[in-house]
Amino acid sequence: SKMTVKAVKMPCTSANVYSKVPDGGWGWTVAFAFFIVEALTYGVIKSFGVFFNDLMESFDETNSRISWIISICVFVQTFTAPLSTVLSNRFGHRLVVMAGGLLVSTGMVVASFARSVVDMYVTIGIVSGLGYCLSFLPTVTILSQYFDKRRSLVTAVASTGECFAVFSFAPAITALKEQIGWRYSMLSVGVLQLGITVCGSLLRPIVIREQEEVKAQPPEESTETKYMLENEQTCTSIESIDSGVDITTSPSNVPGKTKAEPKSEEPKQPGQNPVDSNSTPPEPKTKLLDFSVMRDYSFICYAFFGLFATLGFLAPSLYIIPLSRSLGIGKDHAAYILSAMAIAEVFGRIFAGWLLNKKPIRKIYIELICVILLSVALVAFPFASGFWGLMICSVYFGFMLGTVAGTHIPLLAEDDVAGIERMSSAAGVYVFIQSLAGLAGPPLAGVLVDTTKNYSSAFYSCAAGMVLGAVFLALVRPCKTGLCHQQQQQQQVEESTAGPPSELPDDFIDMDIGKAENSGKGSDSV
């Protein structure tokens, strides 16, 4: 069937109506918007490490207390994910992302005037954190709806926005701080984040409607409907209008309408015509948040994977510059290491998208292999020495991080996890569960660094969380196949226990005819 677009009136306000998932069209514009949103959300979060030493000196605080800024931000971003899902389903993705962009920019601008680390907790942690949630999650959700066959590749390539942001933001902010100071540099970043609002205006909703040829096929009539048709034909063949035949087989069984009316052309009210097989059933109301995914064991395992894997996502990006400085590497060279990690992450995301699109094996197994290799990269950091040793570890880590970070949320749309129908609610619940790791991850690494006086302990904690995540990820597919097999067995047992469906007696019509004749004789005798 040929893809068609219907009733597109205004370029950025009306919904796109397709006969099937377009795998392109306006989806390319949405992909570009997601690229920019990624750059201005996660790109800024990962680049925040360039402010760490400045904040420690300005506020005279420890490493762990400064780490709480990003920790609270990530926690609020992930904890409010269900709220983002509810608001998107209620008001649409466009308005929610635009509101999120305003919150992100406001929090960062106000934070540039902060006088204590507590002010940072409120502005960047709470205000910007909520804005990040309202901006990122609806964008990636609507992007998944515009693509089917190319979903993995397009999402992976579009998600490289944060990598290009880290590559450009880290040296740019470092150079800007030397000229105007960290406060005005943070103010400039906040103004730049207003671009999220512009990207939100491009998120045109999508509607998939099947072609009429598909809908024209009449549904198969049930056995009860066939008996009902025969019963009504029998009733209308009797000359007496008041035949006394009760249409007891009608699903509606409306009182006052139980008497047959022969040769009646008057249309019946909706819900009262049991034989109208061409009537379109009312569309079910969309749930604002579908918690049924929590009954799916495969999704629960995948959510625990995200919970523990989050420990290894953010901390290395935050601590790579302090680790470089502790090894005697200068500020400029440390910023180059972070930029090299970001560039390697770009290639990792593109490679993962290409590989998942080819699908040599199940996508969930490809993800598992990448997570295991990412754990190895985290363990390698403490053994690095010198600029080039740390550079090699950063490039390897960045590449493997790209293969996982760019695909773990889009994989929710796969049937092995939740499916595209429950993608929106699954993403909200999944990111919500990640909130605990987002809250505890950076401060835990900071406490270990303050206790051991060694930045290697932060990378060991990240590696431990990633290994636990790999264990739960390995259980996703077995839980899915085992659960489906168990449900099939349970259905077979119920069918065998219930026995064959009850059938109406063979003399069903004769009984009604006899009833009608007796009623007619009774009226004659009167």
**Ordered DSSP codes for 484-524:** HHHHHHHHHHHHHHH-SPP---TTHHHHHHHHHHHHHHHHH
* 33's tokens: 């918007």
Q: Who has greater pLDDT, 4 or 445?
A: 445
Beginning with the edge strand found earlier in the chain, give each strand of the sheet holding 16-18 in spatial order.
5-6, 16-18, 206-208
How many degrees, rounded to 5, is the angle at CA 256 between CA 250 and CA 262?
70
The mean pLDDT of 199-211, rounded to a whole number, is 81
Which residue from 317, 320, 301, 312 is spatially nearest to 466, judged by alpha carbons? 312
Q: Round to whole Å and give the CA distance between 3 and 368.
A: 35
Q: Round to whole Å and give the CA distance between 486 and 335.
A: 53
- Is the model's pLDDT at 105 over the cut of 90? yes
* 306's tokens: 């995200």
* Residue 123: φ, ψ to 5°: -75, -60
- Is the model's pLDDT at 177 over the cut of 80? yes
- Is the model's pLDDT at 295 over the cut of 50? yes
Q: Round to whole Å and give the CA distance between 134 and 196.
A: 10
Residue 178 carries which side chain, given as an amino acid letter?
A: E
Domain 16-211 and domain 290-492 have a common topology? yes
Lowest-confidence region among 52-66, 233-247, 441-455? 233-247
Summarize the chain as % helix, strand, coil (round to 5).
70, 0, 30
CA dihedral 22, 23, 28, 29 (to 10 degrees): 30
181-199 pLDDT, tens digit per residue, is 899 999 999 999 999 999 9
The mean pLDDT of 270-287, rounded to a whole number, is 48
Q: Who has greater pLDDT, 476 or 489?
A: 476
What confidence tier does 518 reach under pLDDT thresholds 50, 70, 90? low
395-427 pLDDT, tens digit per residue, is 999 899 888 887 787 788 777 787 777 777 787
What confidence tier does 279 reach under pLDDT thresholds 50, 70, 90? very low
Q: Round to whole Å and give the CA distance between 347 and 349.
A: 5
Query: At 329, is the secondary structure helix, strand, or coil?
Result: coil
Which residue from 387, 461, 346 is spatially nearest to 39, judged by alpha carbons? 346
Residue 225 carries which side chain, given as an amino acid letter?
A: T
Return the percentage of the chain with pLDDT > 90, whole number. Answer: 17
Question: How many helices and strands in the chain, by DSSP H and E?
Answer: 22, 3
Residue 376 carries which side chain, given as an amino acid letter?
A: V
What confidence tier does 265 reach under pLDDT thresholds 50, 70, 90? very low
What confidence tier does 135 reach under pLDDT thresholds 50, 70, 90? very high
At 239 the pLDDT is: 43
The mean pLDDT of 45-73, rounded to a whole number, is 85
Return the percentage of the chain with pLDDT > 70, whole number. Answer: 72
Which residue from 433, 439, 429, 407 is spatially nearest to 140, judged by alpha carbons? 407
Q: Round to whole Å and give the CA distance between 445 and 52.
A: 14
Q: Round to whole Å and give the CA distance between 444 and 461.
A: 8
Domain-wise residue ranges, the chain: 16-211, 290-492
Q: Who has greater pLDDT, 388 or 339?
A: 388
**Per mean pLDDT, which of 141-155, 221-235, 247-261 is the most reliable?**
141-155
Q: 206-232: buried (b, 16+ CB within 10 Å) or exposed (e) per residue?
A: beeeeeeeeeeeeeeeeeebeebeebb
Q: Round to whole Å and give the CA distance between 447 and 457.
A: 10
At 228 the pLDDT is: 54
How high is the mean pLDDT of the chain?
75
* Helix axis angle, 423-452 to 297-309, nearest 10°: 30
Fold classified for 16-211 = Growth Hormone; Chain: A; (1.20.1250)
Q: Round to whole Å and give the CA distance between 322 and 49.
A: 8
Selected from 1.20.1250.20, 3.40.50.300, 3.90.1150.10, 1.10.10.350, the CATH number assigned to the domain covering 290-492 reads 1.20.1250.20
Q: Is 240 exposed, middle or buried (0-12, 13-18, 19+ CB in 10 A)?
A: middle
At 495 the pLDDT is: 56
Q: Who has greater pLDDT, 433 or 186?
A: 186
Measured in whole angstroms, the distance separating CA 485 from the mean position of its chain's CA atoms is 26
- Is the model's pLDDT at 82 over the cut of 60? yes
85-98 pLDDT, tens digit per residue, is 889 888 888 999 99
At 471 the pLDDT is: 92
Lowest-confidence region among 21-30, 379-388, 391-400, 440-449? 440-449
At 412 the pLDDT is: 81
Q: Round to whole Å and give the CA distance between 350 and 366.
A: 14
Lowest-confidence region among 33-37, 242-246, 489-493, 507-511? 242-246
Q: Round to whole Å and give the CA distance between 263 and 261.
A: 7
- What are the distances in angstroms from CA 127 to CA 84, 124, 192? 14, 6, 16
At 208 the pLDDT is: 74
Q: How many CB atoms lie within 10 A of CB 470?
A: 21
At 231 the pLDDT is: 52
Q: Who has greater pLDDT, 525 or 486?
A: 486
- Is the model's pLDDT at 100 over the cut of 90? yes
At 50 the pLDDT is: 85
**Per mean pLDDT, which of 224-228, 248-252, 481-485 is the most reliable?**
481-485
- Is the model's pLDDT at 519 over the cut of 60? no
Q: Would you say 399 and 344 are in contact if contact means Cβ atoms under 8 Å apart?
A: yes
Measured in whole angstroms, the distance separating CA 16 from the mean position of its chain's CA atoms is 20
CA dihedral 319, 321, 323, 327 (to 10 degrees): 180
Q: Who has greater pLDDT, 23 or 131?
A: 131
Q: 508-520: buried (b, 16+ CB within 10 Å) or exposed (e) per residue?
A: eeeebbeebeeeb
